[in-house]
Amino acid sequence: MKSGKAFAAGVMGALVMSLIMTIARGLGMQVNMEMMLGTMLGGPLSPTKWIIGFIMHLIIGGLLALLYAVGFEYITRRAGWAIGLGFGVVHTLIVH
């Protein structure tokens, strides 16, 4: 398993997700995961809290990608759209 590549892919996915949320905020939607994560540590809203939340979001994205890579490499021993869909369903059930 290429853990560095998996982590980097997760960080890139989180970065794209943040970009999409930034566009959504520009369109008037109330989406700010970075601020939510940053303020979980306590304290008032601030640019510093947003940056902390953004960094947390990128790290969590990388760690989740590592979990997916472990699943593909050692649990299913293969990858494909159906396996990925199954992993996504499990991820969604855990989150909700």
Token digits for 48? 């510093």
pLDDT tens for residues 11-67? 999 999 999 999 999 999 999 999 999 999 888 999 999 999 999 999 999 999 998
Token digits for 13? 């996915």
The DSSP symbol for 30 reads -
The DSSP symbol for 71 reads I
Rounded to two decimals, the pTM is 0.83
pLDDT of residue 75: 85
pLDDT of residue 10: 95
Percent composition of the chain: helix, strand, coil (DSSP 3-state, to 5):
80, 0, 20
Instruction: Give the contacts of 72 (CB within 8 A, at least 6 positions apart).
Output: 78, 79, 83, 87
pLDDT at 96 over 80: no
Domain spans in the chain, listed from the N-terminal domain onward: 3-95
